[in-house]
């Protein structure tokens, strides 16, 4: 479904990703783990078009997305839940979700999408008239995920969804992401919470200092020094 071939990317003179190749098959849940500053966020930003790769190719469902801007990538069916949630704090919860359905095709299916999102995250329905900035961290993360689903994506990119959340909320959030998965969305998730995320996904990649170091089935990797290795960098 998603293929990255020899992608190199960075900011200015700094190169954050070196020659990264990665695949995600339809229906899969894949994690990219690794220490802080390994280039995990950059990887997602390249996929969603927030930055253009310096070299390499990016294809999604057979179409080349290399160097396409973010507003075009989302129209191809990739939704990005960015690091730090990036909800619109002064808009209501309902307006945030409405903006998630900004694309014309998504707008037509707005009512149906909204129903699905509210079924997944009932708390968003309760708080729909509230300003998004007034929600708790966990609720804001649910809103960020719900907003992404409103664009009717097939692939969802999640960047550190557990960041800044209380431990109890982290567990709840991973449960919710599992339910999103069961809805049939393909997921590519970046996480520092390695132990939790490996219980959620089928496969994982280890990214270190911009290089992909390892790749394998989640259960197998969880048993290895791979996990310890990822933690050491923290």
Partner 1 sequence: MIDPIFLAEAAVNGLLLGGVLALLALGLNLIFGVIDIVWIAYVDLVMICMYAVYFLVQVYGWPIWIGGLVSVELGALLGIAVHVLIISPILGSAPVNQLLATGGLLFFLQSFATFLWTTDHRSVRLTLPTLEYGGMFLSFARLVAFAVALLVMLGLFLFLRHTYIGTAIRAVSQDREAMALMGANPRTVYVVTSAVGGALAGVAAALLIIQYSVHPFFGAAFGPLTFMICVLGGLGNMIGAFVAAFIMSEIISIGGVVWSTEMGYVIAFVIFVIMIFVRPGGLFARRA
Residues that bind partner 1 (CB under 8 A): 48, 50, 69-71, 74-75, 79-80, 82, 86-91, 95, 98-100, 102-103, 106-107, 147-148, 151
What SS3 state is found at 158?
Answer: strand
Q: Are the CB atoms for 189 and 177 separated by under 8 Å?
A: yes
Closer residue to partner 1 in complex, CB, 25/105: 105
Alpha helices in the chain (DSSP H): 40-48, 70-73, 93-100, 104-108, 110-120, 122-126, 137-149, 167-182, 194-200, 218-223, 225-232
The nearest distance, CB 102 to partner 1, in angstroms, is 4
The nearest distance, CB 103 to partner 1, in angstroms, is 4
The nearest distance, CB 20 to partner 1, in angstroms, is 21
Give the CB-side neighbour count of residue 17, counting CA atoms within 13 A. Answer: 30
- CA torsion 232-141-91-98 (nearest 10°) is 120
Query: What whole-number distance in Å separates Cα of residue 132 and Cα of residue 148?
Result: 15
Closer residue to partner 1 in complex, CB, 98/229: 98
Query: What whole-number distance in Å separates Cα of residue 91 and Cα of residue 213?
Result: 41
The nearest distance, CB 72 to partner 1, in angstroms, is 8
The nearest distance, CB 19 to partner 1, in angstroms, is 26
Closer residue to partner 1 in complex, CB, 190/230: 190
């Amino acid at each position: 479904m998603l293929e990255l071939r020899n992608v190199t990317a960075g900011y200015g003179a700094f190169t954050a990703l070196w020659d990264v190749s990665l695949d995600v098959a339809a229906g899969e849940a894949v994690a990219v783990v690794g220490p802080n500053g390994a280039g995990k966020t950059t990887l997602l930003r390249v996929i969603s078009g927030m930055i253009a790769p310096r070299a390499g190719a990016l294809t999604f469902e057979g179409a080349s997305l290399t160097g396409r801007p973010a507003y075009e990538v989302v129209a191809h069916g990739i939704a990005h839940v960015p690091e730090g949630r990036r909800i619109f704090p002064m808009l209501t919860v309902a307006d945030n979700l409405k903006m998630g359905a900004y694309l014309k095709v998504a707008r037509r299916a707005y009512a149906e999408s909204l129903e699905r999102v509210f079924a997944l995250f009932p708390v968003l329905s309760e708080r729909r008239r509230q300003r998004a900035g007034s929600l708790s961290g966990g609720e804001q993360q649910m809103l960020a995920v719900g907003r992404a689903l409103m664009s009717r994506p097939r692939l969802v990119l999640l960047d550190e969804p557990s960041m800044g959340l209380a431990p109890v909320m982290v567990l709840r959030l991973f449960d919710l992401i599992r339910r999103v998965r069961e809805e049939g969305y393909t997921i590519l998730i970046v996480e520092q919470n390695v132990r939790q995320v490996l219980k959620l996904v089928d496969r994982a990649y280890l990214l270190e200092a911009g290089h992909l170091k390892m790749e394998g089935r989640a259960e197998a990797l969880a048993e290895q020094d791979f996990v310890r290795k990822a933690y050491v960098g923290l």
